[in-house]
Amino acid sequence: MKYSLASIATIALASWILAAGTVFAQDSVEEQARALLDKYSAALVVVTVKGELTASTTGDPLPPREQHRRTLGVTIGDDGLIVVSNAAIDASIGLNGQDAKIEDKIVTIQSAKLDFKEVEISYGDSVLLPGKVVRQDAEADLAFILPDEAAAKAVSKNFEKVDLSQFAATAQAADRVVGLSRASAVYGYQPTLQMGRITAVFKGDRTFFVSDVGTAQGVVLFTLDGKPVGITVVRIIDGKPSGVLGTISAGSVQVMANLARKASN
């Protein structure tokens, strides 16, 4: 089959347009991801908690130990309500049944509890607010923190939030997602994003999404059109952290957030 020069030119032009369209589409995806980061970076907070860990054992109780932990949180309400991974702030999670040493004796921990003494919330600017842990769900690995209302009013703090009521109910494997987080203190907790896909959806008592961007506790996932998929937590198996991450669905978080608000009243 022979082609005229005009036909060849037309085919070449069509191929160029197709290739250019692919590049433009890729740019569009990147722009969508950057827009999500710009929109929600102020809702990404750093939470620092201090507390005292106590534990009873098969022998003498363990001496109280001070705990100091820091993790990523996400503001999810106009009232400033924040959700974090519970295991990231509570050092007592998973200690039951563990062995410990008191002087020269080995004992087994029967129960452990962390009493929160201080909660501080950093909003990525100059604002630091005290807060309070108002509810914990150990099995779902979620904890909810409310900033102090009087302190927020004193600095005229308006809370930027992720609206979990607009969650991506139909998110499924292969969907593109954007994970938003903050870098470490070395980089000044700079807001960060990762782009990837949902690789699996696990539906049990709760729905969890497995993805290649839910790589740390507290990372919040979005679809490209801006709907929240969920919050990344540690999977708790038989009361102990499994070390395996999963993104619990935004709908489940929203339900537990409403329970947290009731508990705070």
Burial of 240 (0-12, 13-18, 19+ CB in 10 A): middle
Identify the CATH number of the domain defined by range 39-264.
2.40.10.120
Report the pLDDT value the prediction gives residue 103, as an integer from 0 to 100: 78
Report the pLDDT value the prediction gives residue 2, as an integer from 0 to 100: 54
The distance in angstroms from the start CA to the end CA of the chain is 80
Number of neighbours of residue 55 by Cβ within 10 angstroms: 22
Closest to 248 in 3D by CA, of 54, 122, 74: 74
**Percentage of the chain exceeding pLDDT 70:** 90
Strand partners, 114: 53
What residues of the chain score a pLDDT lower than 50? 8, 20, 22-25
CA distance linking residue 61 with residue 52, whole number of Å: 14
Strands 220-223 and 99-102: unpaired
11-41: pLDDT as tens digits: 555 555 555 454 444 568 999 999 999 999 9
* Ramachandran category for residue 122: left, alpha or beta (phi over 0 → left; psi -120 to 50 → alpha): beta
CA distance linking residue 159 with residue 123, whole number of Å: 9
Closest to 60 in 3D by CA, of 108, 119, 118: 108
What is the chain's length?
Answer: 265
> Strand, helix or coil at 7?
helix
Report the pLDDT value the prediction gives residue 105, as an integer from 0 to 100: 86
The b/e string for 8-32 (b: 16+ C-beta within 10 A; e otherwise) is eeeeeeeeeeeeeeeeeeeeeeeeb
Report the pLDDT value the prediction gives residue 23, as an integer from 0 to 100: 45
Report the pLDDT value the prediction gives residue 24, as an integer from 0 to 100: 45
Burial of 187 (0-12, 13-18, 19+ CB in 10 A): exposed
Report the pLDDT value the prediction gives residue 12, as an integer from 0 to 100: 52
Report the pLDDT value the prediction gives residue 126, as an integer from 0 to 100: 83
Report the pLDDT value the prediction gives residue 101, as an integer from 0 to 100: 84
The answer for residues whose C-beta is within 8 angstroms of residue 200's C-beta and 6 or more apart is: 173, 209, 210
The two tokens of residue 241 are 């952290």
Collect contacts of 153-158 with beta carbons under 8 A, ≥24 apart: 155/127, 155/129, 157/80, 157/123, 157/127, 157/129
Report the pLDDT value the prediction gives residue 226, as an integer from 0 to 100: 95
Instruction: Name the helix (H) or strand (E) containing 142.
Output: strand 142-147
